[in-house]
Structure 1
Amino acid sequence: MNKTALILRHVHFEDLGSFAEPLTASGYTIRYSDVGDMDFCKGDPCSPDLLIILGGPIGVYDGAYPFLGTEMDFVRARLSAGLPTLGICLGAQLIAAALGERVFPTGIKEIGFSKLALTEAGRSSPLRRLKDVAVLHWHGDTYSLPLGAVDLASSDLVEQQAFSIGSNILGLQFHPEAETDKRFERWLVGHAVELATAKVNPSSLRQDARKYGPRLREAARLMLRDWLDGLEARS
């Protein structure tokens, strides 16, 4: 019987990307639950074998989007049970907020490809696969490191880039999953207003995606595989 992976998605083009294949190869049946769907954050949060919370262009603290409170309760119940949970960008911030930490604007837009600086713990974690690999950053918020979490990585611009809590909880501020082939154009169009406001040239991002994308794709898939292999089974 296959394992189940529930994917909380906030904008359609920010999907599992390159993570879909290693998940399927590891025996997971993937089900998306999208913002606005009747089933979004419905049901037992502890039922899926794996929960992945994807990114999105809003802030955890943004009261204009009431679904965020419901989503945070859903994530909090999952975390309380210690069940496998992965948060990417907004997803990592939701994990931090669900654990009582502050999520706040950095005052800058970190958008583009650059390498991570792995901590000692990061170098012995699945993130070791990303050593010297340019990853995609696309955010303007950050978070306070949750109590009991292990800091795994930073960047030149933002200190908090990844954390883990035990073997089953992983938060990634950056986007290792983003497809950087022709599908990357969906990101450039979907975030066109943000790019223009931040004065980020889409042509430069497109060029960097072609340059760094193939290596990132392979490293990200290996990282996810390692993390999945290290998950603790349900008691």
Structure 2
Amino acid sequence: MRIQFAQHVAFEDPGAILKWAEARGHEYTVTRFYAGEELPSPENWDWLIIMGGPMSIHDEDEFPWLKSEKESIRNAISIGKIVIGNCLGSQLIAEALGAKVYKNDQTEIGWFPIEWTPDGQAALYLESAPTELPVFHWHGETFDLPEGAVLLASSAACKNQAFAFGINVFAFQFHLEVLRHNILSMIENEEDELKKESPYIQSKTEILKYSHLADKATDVLVSFLNELEHRWSNSM
């Protein structure tokens, strides 16, 4: 299987997803938009995995590559590729599907629980898992649910935390993919965000104190990716 990663900043790399891909022996390439790289044509990859970043999807003047990336996402969805978005990646998918992306009432940074919907448990093969999972967040925007999409998860601060569109598109506002180095890099590069006043912004100390929670999130991620890989392989 050939995986194409879309990376927007150096400090938000694919983390546990890359580790999973390497363990499974999959081919992969990384497009680094921040370095002026462009996504290769979709015939060169099977899955598109879109990472996060501190910019907004609306910042096309500052980051003009966002325009071509959005078009690539629309195309990938239309031709039936597996498309997975994380944080900014989820918002790009939402807009590609015609939904509005806007500032959330609360900024979420740190470890806060999400609750899977019944549809979410089914879509992510989590029927036997707890309905609540503490996950890592770092976002100030959110999206409306695209028409035809299925809500997968919500949190106290943000209703639309994740959705599926059909059987090949998955969008997660939270970060199931973070490893400890990802968390440290995000804090190092965006620590000013932690100074904002909000009940849903944790301090650096709190974030690092609970960083062991990434293990449970990674377990969920790996289980989902394994099942998605199995289903994709059987469809080929």
For the criterion TM > 0.5, the same-fold answer is: yes
Query: 1:175 maps to which residue?
Result: 175
Partner letter of residue 215 of structure 1?
K
Structure 2, unmatched stretches of 5+, are: none
The 5-angstrom pairing of residues 1-16 of structure 1 reads 3-16=1-14
SS at match of 2:132: coil
Query: 1:54 maps to which residue?
Result: 51
2: distance between equivalents of 1:54 and 1:20?
11
Q: What's the offset of the Cα at 1:148?
A: 1.3
Give the alignment's TM-score, normalised by structure 2. Answer: 0.89
Q: What's the offset of the Cα at 1:88?
A: 0.6
The 5-angstrom pairing of residues 69-108 of structure 1 reads 69-108=67-106
Q: What's the offset of the Cα at 1:156?
A: 0.9
Partner letter of residue 59 of structure 1?
S
1: distance between equivalents of 2:6 and 2:106?
26
SS at match of 1:133: strand
The 5-angstrom pairing of residues 139-218 of structure 1 reads 139-180=139-180, 183-198=182-197, 200-210=202-212, 212-218=213-219
1:117 is aligned, of 115, 134, 159, to: 115
Q: Residues 149-187 of structure 1, C-alpha deviation per residue, up to 9 Å, x if partnerless?
A: 11111111100011111221111111000003x553112
Matched positions, count: 230
Please identify runs of 4+ aligned residues in structure 1 that moved more than 4 A. Answer: 232-235
Cα distance, 1:130–1:141 mapped onto 2, change above 3 Å: farther
Structure 1, unmatched stretches of 5+, are: none
Cα distance, 1:125–1:139 mapped onto 2, change above 3 Å: same
1: distance between equivalents of 2:189 and 2:222?
24
Query: 2:41 maps to which residue?
Result: 44
2: distance between equivalents of 1:97 and 1:127?
26
Cα distance, 1:50–1:21 mapped onto 2, change above 3 Å: same
2: distance between equivalents of 1:172 and 1:201?
23
Q: Determine if contact 2:106/2:158 at 8 Å carries over to the other structure.
A: no
Cα distance, 1:207–1:127 mapped onto 2, change above 3 Å: farther
Q: Residues 35-77 of structure 1, C-alpha deviation per residue, up to 9 Å, x if partnerless?
A: 1334323x31343111100000011112332211111011111
Give the alignment's TM-score, normalised by structure 1. Answer: 0.89
Q: Determine if contact 2:101/2:143 at 8 Å carries over to the other structure.
A: yes
Supply the RMSD in Å over aligned alpha carbons: 2.0
1: distance between equivalents of 2:130 and 2:231?
17
2: distance between equivalents of 1:36 and 1:114?
29
Cα distance, 1:74–1:124 mapped onto 2, change above 3 Å: same
Partner letter of residue 32 of structure 1?
V
